[in-house]
Amino acid sequence: MVLPIRFNHNDKNLIELLEQVIPFQNLGKKELQAVSAILKKYEYEKDEVVIREGEIGSTAFIVDEGKFCLEMMGRAIKIFSKGDFFGEIALIDTRPRMGTVRAMTRASLFIMDGKDLENEKLIPAKTGMKLYQAFARMVTSYMRESKDLYSEMDVLIVMDGGCAPGYNPVTAFITEYLEKAGRKVYIAAEGFKSIIANQSQDYRRLIYDPETYRNLEQVPGVIFAPPLREARGADFRTERFPEFKESKNQQIAARNIIAKKVNVVLGIGGDGTFAGINALSKLLPSTIQSFFIPVTIDSDIYGTDCIGEYTGVEVGAEKIRSYMADARTHKRFYIIEMMGARGGYHALHSCLGAGAHLAILPSSTHDLNKIIEGLQHRESVVIVVAEGYKVAERKAQGYKGHAAEYFRDELLNAGLKSEHRIVCEGFSRDIRGAAPNNLDIMLAQRMARKLTSMIQTGQNRKMPAVLSGRESSIDFDDIRTDNSVESGLASLANRLT
């Protein structure tokens, strides 16, 4: 519980503390006493929140005792201790807080309200002007450092497309290995979209070394990379940016990359991201290296394991097992749609792992009559349908339902009659946000290490690959994005006919 604390505004120790706080260092004793008079003091228990990310505020804070932690995007970024000053931007501009600050221990703060600073009865106008000039210098120094930091970039990462487990871990490992090799890593805040916009706020600087981070942490956009190693989701991507398919936008991106003196461009994602990086690389001079790392649940890059596929199958199979248990309990037929736009890797392997009764893939040509015959003697069934099943046919017909519903309708039209309830479930997108498992984290680490070696040896237009435990690389011109599934495996996922 946050508690107000009474204190002596003229206490010698308080004045000495204020003398050490950066924006107050040019104030005289009387001015410091005026500042002291408007302060309020509060005590916080461990884990109590001082400010919350996204909230609107008008106060700044001075740490008196204990420690406070700044968190951004759910991760610890910075520690504040005695004499540290934070929240100053809110005194100049009423905007949402950029992070959350919470007490790490039982601790206390002095709080300064912007409304009191503007009250000339409390703070003389001359003193107030000095303070606002100091606050403005702090903020503009951040902006100046930010502009300088992003004027030239060494290694630039670009992510795009749908989220998958492993985006964040591979980003952390790339930063770690390249930094140890003497390189500097940057990332587009929102994929290809940011490269076209090309403002300082469109980029982030990733840092792995704690000491280097402490020297740059005040600069907007500087991110401490280690917490990304086990983080869910993809923090630096945008929901697909189809406009990048246009030649004019690719040319704008190429010009911006050249102007920023980028040495290495790295795309991370699935088949769409590869298409973008491949097209972009052809517009760049040969002195700028281009690479790609596959992160895709549906393993739609041929010739390599893809980061995210292991977690996707593990979570997908567990979801199917849950449907199977419910189907047995209630004597139901479940037809569930799962990821698999082309080859159907995710749908097939999830089905196999869970022991479901049938996998219907984009290339499936099953005899519907035989399937209906197989259903007649069962009390419960779970059929997995890949999202890409007969997608062109569905579009041509103007069909509004998803793949599982389409397959159900095919069965009904072919004569299926059942007293059991048939339940269709659409593609469950929570798989995208699953915590990456150990296999995907290990794969991310191996690909990051391989990539670093490829960069340092001067290679270009290649993708690191790991297949059957063996590390290799594949040229951009040889990358296939129609990763099919083995017919033998597909036949294993058929327990009905």
Q: Tokens 């910075």 identify what position?
A: 78
Whether the Cβ atoms of residue 277 and residue 292 lie closer than 8 Å to each other: yes
The sign one gets for the Cα dihedral 265, 270, 275, 278 is positive
Q: Tokens 């706080």 identify what position?
A: 21
Q: Which of 382, 376, 407, 375 is nearest to 328 (CA)?
A: 382
What is the per-residue pLDDT across 312-358, written as a single tens digit (0 to 9) for each? Answer: 999 999 999 999 999 999 999 999 999 988 888 999 999 999 999 99
Which three-class secondary structure state does DSSP give residue 3?
strand
Whether the Cβ atoms of residue 150 and residue 221 lie closer than 8 Å to each other: yes
Model pLDDT, residue 142: 56
286, exposed or middle or buried, with CB in 10 Å at 0-12, 13-18, 19+? exposed
Phi-psi region of 74 (alpha: psi -120 to 50; beta: other; left: phi over 0): left
Rounded CA-CA distance 190/155 in Å is 16
Long-range pairs, 389-397, Cβ under 8 A, ≥24: 389/340, 389/344, 389/360, 389/361, 389/362, 389/364, 390/362, 391/341, 391/362
Write the DSSP symbol of residue 396. Answer: H
Q: Which of 356, 343, 344, 338 is nearest to 431 (CA)?
A: 338
Model pLDDT, residue 141: 59
Write the DSSP symbol of residue 123. Answer: S
Whether the Cβ atoms of residue 205 and residue 145 lie closer than 8 Å to each other: no
DSSP H or E run through 101 = strand 100-103
CA dist 9 to 12, 14, 23, 133, 435, Å?
Answer: 9, 7, 19, 24, 50
In tens digits, what is the pLDDT along the chain, a chain of 497 residues? Answer: 789 999 999 899 999 999 998 889 889 999 999 999 999 999 999 999 999 988 888 899 999 999 999 886 566 777 899 999 988 888 877 677 878 999 999 999 999 998 998 898 999 999 989 888 888 777 665 555 455 578 889 999 999 878 999 999 999 999 999 999 999 999 999 999 999 999 888 999 999 988 888 767 767 788 899 999 988 989 987 667 889 999 999 999 999 999 999 999 999 999 999 999 999 999 999 999 999 999 999 888 889 999 999 999 999 999 999 999 999 999 999 999 999 888 889 999 999 999 999 999 998 888 999 999 999 889 999 999 999 999 999 999 999 999 999 999 999 999 999 888 999 998 878 899 999 999 999 999 999 999 999 999 999 999 999 998 999 999 999 999 876 677 678 888 888 88
Model pLDDT, residue 374: 92
The sign one gets for the Cα dihedral 51, 53, 55, 60 is positive
Strands 264-269 and 107-113: unpaired
* 44 token code pair: 């916080």
Rounded CA-CA distance 63/108 in Å is 6
Domains in the chain, ordered, with CATH?
3-147 (2.60.120.10), 155-307+436-478 (3.40.50.450), 312-432 (3.40.50.460)
Helices within 331-486 (DSSP H only): 345-354, 368-375, 391-397, 403-413, 438-456
Q: Tokens 């849950």 identify what position?
A: 322
pTM score, whole prediction? 0.73
Identify any residues that bridge with 159 across adjacent strands, giving them in sequence order: 268
